[in-house]
A and B are shown apart, each in its own frame.
Chain A
């Protein structure tokens, strides 16, 4: 795969995820702004309404919103640093959990439920973390693009003699549109040495990291 195609794929993903995260932070800031405004209103209009329990309640709400916004910023920072990690051993389940948490706003907006099934044992694969996050996001994004059809997506893990696997399964009658079947994604999978898998009459899409000796 030409390096410029990798960059193009990465930038599009980065843009989508960061735009969502910044929106999430804006929402927390809006609530902090309203709480601060409410304190101002109460002190100007009705100082008697500024009872200690009310003031304390508002200050707790502000602290809670700051905590939420800080969590989003921490995830943004962790996500940004995933670009640095090339050919490093990474935990598949932990990475999937991170992608789901980070994309939770977009998932919630589309009204989709993601069920992450725990791996039987930790599954470590050696890969580029940023592109692994990108690949895990693709089936989720396919559901977001089509929320009327796919309401629930299951993510599970498997360790077999062929290697480590992650499965994405649509939980209703509709089939998941295969996001790995595009020229860009096919080239990326080939570049990373990952084999796309299909089973259960196209209902389950998988990614296989073959064992090094195969």
Chain B
């Protein structure tokens, strides 16, 4: 099944071409040109992965990452970055980024990371569902 991806970048041209290339690889892509727009979209839609530029005007990658993880903890976020320092990478991973990719990105490497993110998300959702079933069964005394 196709991966559903939210692509977030303030560079409109990058967004357009990357989205076309990802769609050509069978992905279903929604785009957002700011972190605020991305936050509004994830309130209404669900995704297998978010691919997000780390540095954007107004709300930077770290702030956006925190806000998305608070709203949707199960979402897998792959950060695109120009230059990632070790400190920033560690901080972002602690907050919940699932992966990093340096710009200019290799589309095949990105597609692999998105597939991996989808599998991880499905595992989290499965675990949550299992837990819910266990809780319900416990309530009924089984």
Q: Which residues of A contact B (CB under 8 A)?
A: 19, 22-23, 26-27, 29-35, 37-38, 41, 45, 61, 65, 108-111
User: By DSSP majority rule, is chain A's interface helix, strand, loop, or mixed?
Assistant: helix
Task: Decide: B17 and A108 in contact? CB cutoff 8 A.
Answer: no
Closest approach, in angstroms, between the C-beta of A157 and any C-beta of chain B?
A: 28
* A-B contact list, 9 entries, CB within 8 Å: A19-B83, A30-B11, A30-B14, A34-B17, A34-B18, A38-B20, A65-B13, A109-B60, A111-B57
- A41-B24, A45-B24, A109-B57 given; A26·B107 CB < 8 A: no
Task: Decide: B82 and A38 in contact? CB cutoff 8 A.
Answer: no
Closest approach, in angstroms, between the C-beta of A146 and any C-beta of chain B?
A: 14
Q: Which chain A residues lie closer than 8 Å to B30 at the CB level?
A: none
Q: Which chain B residues lie closer than 8 Å to A29 at the CB level?
A: 103-104
Using an 8 Å CB-CB cutoff, how does the interface string of B31-58 with A read, 1 for contact, 0 for none? 0000000000000000000000001111
Closest approach, in angstroms, between the C-beta of A155 and any C-beta of chain B?
A: 21
Q: How far is the CA of A65 from the CA of B12 in the complex (A)?
A: 13
- A33-B104, A110-B57, A111-B58 given; A23·B21 CB < 8 A: no
